[in-house]
Structure formats: structure tokens, C-alpha cells
Amino acid sequence: EGVLTQSPGTLSLPPGERATLSCRASQSVGHGYLIWYQQKPGQAPRLLIFGTSSRATGIPDRFSGSGSGTDFTLTISRLEPEDSAVYYCQQYGSSPLYIFGQGTKLEIK
Amino acid sequence: EVQLVQSGAEVKKPGESLKISCKDSGYRFTNSWIGWVRQMPGKGLEWMGSIYPGDSETRYSPSFQGQVTISADKSINTAYLQWSSLKASDTAIYYCARQREGSSTSFGYWGQGTLLTVSS
């Protein structure tokens, strides 16, 4: 069974800085099958990035995804207070079919 | 605009049965995968299973196979998640989510979540 490991567990940065969130897969991820979601407290998750690097509708270009194989990164530039959330990576196509990482909590302060 | 509207919060006792719902306001219900995702208190996201309402094909995570049943009624654009005998460990928020247009690799639309509390 595949596993996605996210790091760090918690990241605290001031506004205006850049955040780098890591997602490492236990098995190679198929092309385009790495996804990122944002979840704010009390809300449902929201799709941020699909196909490793494509932004979902309405997502600002401050958010970017990259990576291949087993190592992937979500980068958030020019941090804003509203970016405070938990960020999850997700892999498609392994067993189980959709695998989520354990999440990285981003605090902007 | 696609909207997934889930049924309301539930409080149940161990051993009871339950069926929660997810109504899709979109026009692609029969041609899109609908998944169910569990979030236990203070924890991350876990995919439970998905259904393709067009032909009712279902896929389950091995962790949830046999523990829950996923179904759909395409005449009313509604998907369901069902338990026959609840346990305290089923306490969680359950989200339904629909695939992004054109690809089943990610969930582009999410319901608001249904909070289930199982307690004696």
C-alpha cells in the first residue's frame, strides 16, 4: 500500500515570505497524478493544484506545484494571512486508489 | 455552478444503522465519479470509496471494504454512504466529493461535510 509523507508537520512564517511544502511518495507517482488541496478550519477541502503543477480554477498564481517521481513540492509565494490552512497532497492510481498525505499546517504570523 | 449538498449532522448509538446523502446540483452527475472521504476528529483525509452513478460501478479502499456501502440514485442526482452497524470509531466528518471535470484523478467539488457522532 502506498504512503505519502508530508513535511514539515507545521510551518510558521510571516506574511510576504515564501512557503515550501514537501510531499514524498513511497512509490513513484504516475505522470500528472499528484494533487494538492487546501483546508481551512471548519471548511471542506478545496482543490488547489492538479496534474502536479496545474492550478485549479480561481487559484492565484502565488500557488505553484512541481516535482516528479517520488518528490513533490507546493510553493506559496508572497504569503498572505488567508493562506493559513492545512495543505494535503494526494496521489491517484495506487492502492488505495486515492491516497492522502497526513497534511502540513501552515501558520502565517 | 456545481454544488454538493450533504445531509445534516447525525448522533447515533453503537450498533445502529445510518445512511447519509449527497445531492449534486450539477448536470454531469451520471458521468462523474463521486467519492466519500472521512476525516476523524483532528485528523487528516481518508478516501473510503467512490461510485460512478451512470452504471453504479463502485470502488472501495481496502480499509473500508465491507465496512460501508456506497450507492447512488441517478434519478435524483444523489449519492449515499451507508453503515449497517455503527461503532464509536465511526465518529468523524464525512465529505462527498465529485471528480474534477474531465479527470477522475482529483476531487474538484466538495460537499460541506456531514458530522457523525456515535456514542452510547
Let me know: does B92 contact B100? Beta carbons within 8 Å: no
The proportion of chain A whose per-residue pLDDT surpasses 70, expressed as a percent, equals 100
Q: CA-to-CA distance for B115 and A91, rounded, in angstroms?
A: 25
**Which stretch of A33-37, A47-51, A86-90, B102-106 has the lowest confidence by average pLDDT?**
B102-106
Answer yes or no: do B35 and A90 touch at CB < 8 A: no
C-alpha cell recorded at residue A87: 495543505
Cα–Cα distances in Å, from B104 out to A43, A74, B51, B101? Answer: 22, 21, 11, 8
Q: What is the pLDDT of residue B120?
A: 96
pLDDT tier at A1, thresholds 50, 70, 90: confident
Alpha-carbon dihedral A35, B98, A56, A34, rounded to 10 degrees: 10
Q: What is the pLDDT of residue A74?
A: 98
Give me the average pLDDT of each 10-residue run along chain B (120 residues).
Answer: 92 98 89 96 97 95 97 96 98 97 92 98
Chain B residue numbers with beta carbons less than 8 Å from the beta carbon of A105 are: none
pLDDT tier at A14, thresholds 50, 70, 90: very high
Give B44 to chain A, closest Cα distance, Å.
Answer: 5
